[in-house]
Amino acid sequence: MTHTAAQYVVIGNPVAHSRSPFIHARFARQTGLALSYETRLAPLDGFADNVRAFILEGGRGANVTVPFKLDAFALAHEHTARALAAGAVNTLSFSDGRIAADNTDGAGLVADIEGNAGIRLAGKRVLLLGAGGAARGALLPLLDAAPRSLTIANRTAANAEALARQFAGQAAGRLQACALTALEGCFDVIVNATSASLNGEVPPLAPALFSSNTLALDMMYGAEPTAFMRLARLHGAAARDGCGMLVEQAAEAFFVWHGVRPATGAVLDELRAALGQAPASSS
Ligand code: ATR
């Protein structure tokens, strides 16, 4: 029996639940590329050794998920500007003994908002909830999309303020930071990058932050709408989950590796169906 080594993997711990093999298999079929993409479980204290072993097995690239995005940053020899800005890495490429690092999460978020939800970010008032790794990864791509203003709001205000200081140089005065409870005004786009939804919680948000023209996007996803999405709809906003961002960050990684940009619409529909979502649950 012959065995073909996996060329591409998603490395995490845990990782069995990852939808990335599903998505990349569909991109490969669509673009006619022959490649394998599997999950790979790395020990919590053994990420670097695991990656080196994969490279020796013939690995060409890896997506990296929780909890290894900082380890991936540290392991790489080269980083793109967006990986440096994010301080974390979700896409590694291996060639000629070098490890190159990228972060496609923020680009995936922007592509989902602009391409799938049809909202141009240029000139918009954007609110980013959270100041952890997920929020940091989104900041530079959001700023690059030229919003009128970008407000970072966090449960712990000091963390939001630290993040805003870090990106002040790229923000041209458009970046503000405050506590969740100090937010004022209404926003065109609200992105939930907190981990509150993981616990079925929702950040304390005043109804006036939302309007019928607001798009509220939760980076989390599941079979059912998250608590944040339900709150946004209650206040009249449109809401989407993180499925589109997931598919778009995968498409961006596919482009990084293969130089081909796959179409994402049908794959997003298939992913939603696989998750057991009702057809209307994304808007
Ligand atoms: P990630 O890598 O997913 O961003 P993280 O770095 O641990 O995870 O950051 C989690 C973020 O979610 C933080 O901004 C955290 O707020 P604090 O800085 O105040 O801890 C936020 N968060 C977590 N649970 C929350 C909740 N129930 N309500 C509001 N914010 C929450």
Could you read off the pLDDT tens digit of each residue along the chain, which spans 283 residues? 445 645 999 999 999 999 999 999 999 999 999 999 999 999 999 999 999 999 999 999 999 999 999 999 999 999 999 999 999 999 999 999 999 999 999 999 999 999 999 999 999 999 999 999 999 999 999 999 999 999 999 999 999 999 999 999 988 899 999 999 999 999 999 999 999 988 889 999 999 999 999 999 999 999 999 999 999 999 999 999 999 999 999 999 999 999 999 999 999 999 999 999 987 655 5
CB of residue 247 inside a 6 A radius of ligand 1: no
Angle at alpha carbon of residue 80, lines to 75 and 82, rounded to 5°: 110
User: What separation in Å is there between the alpha carbon of 39 and the centre of ligand 1?
Assistant: 26
CB of residue 192 inside a 6 A radius of ligand 1: no
Task: Decide if 257 is inside a domain.
Answer: no
Query: Which residue owns the Cα nearest ligand 1 atom 16?
Result: 155
Domain of residue 65, CATH code: 3.40.50.10860
CB of residue 203 inside a 6 A radius of ligand 1: yes
The C-alpha atoms of residue 12 and residue 40 are separated, in whole angstroms, by 7
- 98: phi then psi, degrees, rounded to nearest 5: -105, 150
Check: pTM over 0.85? Answer yes or no. Answer: yes
Q: How far is CA 97 from CA 22, 37, 55, 79, 240, in A?
A: 28, 21, 9, 15, 41
Residues 74 and 119 in one domain: no
> What are the structure tokens assigned to 18, written together?
């990852």
Q: How far is CA 278 from CA 17, 230, 242, 246, 281, in A?
A: 20, 14, 15, 18, 5
Rounded to 10 deg, the angle between the 243-258 and 20-31 helix axes is 50
Domain of residue 211, CATH code: 3.40.50.720
The C-alpha atoms of residue 142 and residue 41 are separated, in whole angstroms, by 31
Domain of 55 in residue numbering reads as 6-103
Atom nearest to 219 CA in ligand 1: 3
The C-alpha atoms of residue 124 and residue 29 are separated, in whole angstroms, by 37
- Count up the domains in the chain and report the number: 2
Residues 80 and 115 in one domain: no
